[in-house]
Amino acid sequence: MQTDSSFTFVLFGGTGDLSMRKILPALYEAHRAGMLADSGKIVGVARHEEDRAGYIDWVNGHVKPYVSKDGLDEAAWESFLARIEYVKLDLSKAEDFVLLRDAVNKLSGTRVFYLATGPSLFVPICHALASVGLNENARIVLEKPLGYDLRSSNAINDAVGEIFAEEQIYRIDHYLGKEPVQNLLALRFGNALFEPLWRREWVESIQITIAEELGVEARGDFYDNTGALRDMVQNHLLQLLSIVAMEPPHSMDSDSVRDEKLRVLRALKPIDPRDIQRVAVRGQYHAGVIRGTAVPAYATEPGVKKDSTTETFVALKVEIENWRWSGVPFFLRTGKRLADRVAEIVVNFRPVPHSALGPTALRPGANRLVIRLQPNETIRLYCLAKQPGEGMNLASVHLDLAFDQFFRENQMEAYQRLLLDVINGRLALFVRRDEQEAAWRWVEPILNDWSAANKAPKPYAAGTWGPAAASAMLAQHGTCWLEEEN
């Protein structure tokens, strides 16, 4: 399906890592699939001394390796490059924004300004766009992190909000664009089977994990001033939690969906500082081995302070104080240099109250739903069945919805879906300001406690699943992380 109209997509940070790995490849895939209006243009903006030909050479050298897992379509690639323009821009020079305005005014359609830059540049860029009249009839896309805490987040939102209306602002969280997250909504609200079970009477616990094998790579300076709680929990994990726990929306329009997510975030049980040690685990990776390769400790990574107390791992026990979820623990976990790269949601249903078939049917987790977001996007429902042969012996079996096998169409990557939504003016999968504020407000007591204590995080070896305290926290509730059962 093609975008509704022509567009001009202006990409600040046009030579940055995010543009190279995600944004330009996603736009190419949309182009190759015929989803972009023929007249749509992409304008790369950076401070490098390039002309258009030089920028095209850069795109060929740096972006091409990240497109098309199933092989590059050379004809589609060449026609995609024909969409691209380039404007050299120094943010400190007002005259450069005049040049940008002149370039954009020659192009037609909806204007999208994507800020793939550090958050410190969001406000100066927005002010400069407004100074040359480019904030009218336009959409602005803001990448995370949006601020360092509630105060700085509000400062950015206040400043951007003076220039762009809320309906013009697209705060992107790429996890909301993943196919299984969309299918979670379809499973819950499109099937009579799951919705009656999606509540405290039938759900024993829920786990949400985003684990990475990678370390901080070349982002040591940034990460050492951020940490896992700000980088992953405040946005990705709390957004996934709100999708899992939300009430059925009135419709799938943007405000109906986001209103229900906001209600979940506002229903999060506040963290009492006296309970933080019991419900929050923070860790930092030490040297270890991942898939046979030795990797260094976090404190020896480039850009990281040698005595750093920044956390690279967080595990939390979260409660939602509402009618549907009261008493159900939600366990959130994220970390770097863990044993595997995986993002998944695990819904553990309660065991049967009595079994005439033996203890297997009473085992926690005998019935569960596992929604895998990466690396392979699947939804798997576990239940018990009789083993072939003599006697009534039960075994765990599963039903799979493997998208790549069931649906023959090419799946959209998350960024591809979200960029098309920006171009078409669909806000449902983007974070509204009041959602962001509610998330920061809930996270802040933990941030403040960890900052005041200045204690070293619990160590864990790279290539493991984090500190033992994260497993002990679940054991107190008679459960364990999914990989520990296997």
pLDDT, block means (10 residues), the chain with 486 residues:
77 94 95 94 92 94 84 91 95 91 93 93 95 94 89 95 96 90 86 90 96 90 92 95 95 91 97 92 96 94 94 98 97 97 94 74 80 86 82 79 67 91 94 96 94 87 97 93 87
106 is in an annotated binding site: no
pLDDT at 407: 67
- Let me know whether 63 and 114 are in one domain: yes
Domain assignment present for residue 263? The answer is: yes
Domain assignment present for residue 161? The answer is: no
- Let me know whether 127 and 233 are in one domain: no
- Let me know whether 133 and 204 are in one domain: no
212 is in an annotated binding site: yes
- Let me know whether 64 and 193 are in one domain: no
336 is in an annotated binding site: yes
- Distance, CA of 464 to CA of 290 (rounded, Å): 8
Query: Residues of 10-36 as b/e, b for ≥16 C-beta within 10 angstroms?
Result: bbbbbbbeebbebbbbbbbbbbbbebb
Identify the three-state secondary structure at position 260.
helix
Domain assignment present for residue 325? The answer is: yes
Domain assignment present for residue 149? The answer is: no
Domain assignment present for residue 26? The answer is: yes
- Let me know whether 419 and 331 are in one domain: yes
Residue with tokens 């450069």: 96
Domain assignment present for residue 156? The answer is: no
- Distance, CA of 11 to CA of 24 (rounded, Å): 9
pLDDT at 179: 84
Whether 127 is a known active-site residue: answer no
The residue from 122, 143, 164 where one domain ends is 143
- Distance, CA of 452 to CA of 161 (rounded, Å): 32
The DSSP output letter for 81 is H
305 is in an annotated binding site: no
The number of distinct structural domains making up the chain is 2
Nearest to 284 by CA among 481, 123, 455, 407: 455
- Let me know whether 204 and 83 are in one domain: no
- Let me know whether 97 and 213 are in one domain: no
The residue from 143, 164, 195 where one domain ends is 143
- Let me know whether 307 and 235 are in one domain: yes
Residues whose CB is less than 8 angstroms from the CB of residue 204 and which lie 6 or more positions away in sequence, other chains included: 328, 348, 349, 350, 351, 364, 479
- Let me know whether 107 and 194 are in one domain: no
CATH of the domain at 131: 3.40.50.720
pLDDT at 170: 97
- Let me know whether 131 and 192 are in one domain: no
pLDDT at 379: 87
- Let me know whether 244 and 312 are in one domain: yes
47 is in an annotated binding site: yes
- Distance, CA of 313 to CA of 31 (rounded, Å): 38
Nearest to 399 by CA among 363, 361, 365, 369: 369
CATH of the domain at 467: 3.30.360.10
Domain hosting residue 60, numbered range: 7-143
Domain assignment present for residue 41? The answer is: yes
- Let me know whether 247 and 126 are in one domain: no
Identify the three-state secondary structure at position 171.
strand
91 is in an annotated binding site: yes
Out of 62, 236, 354, 477, pick the active-site residue.
236
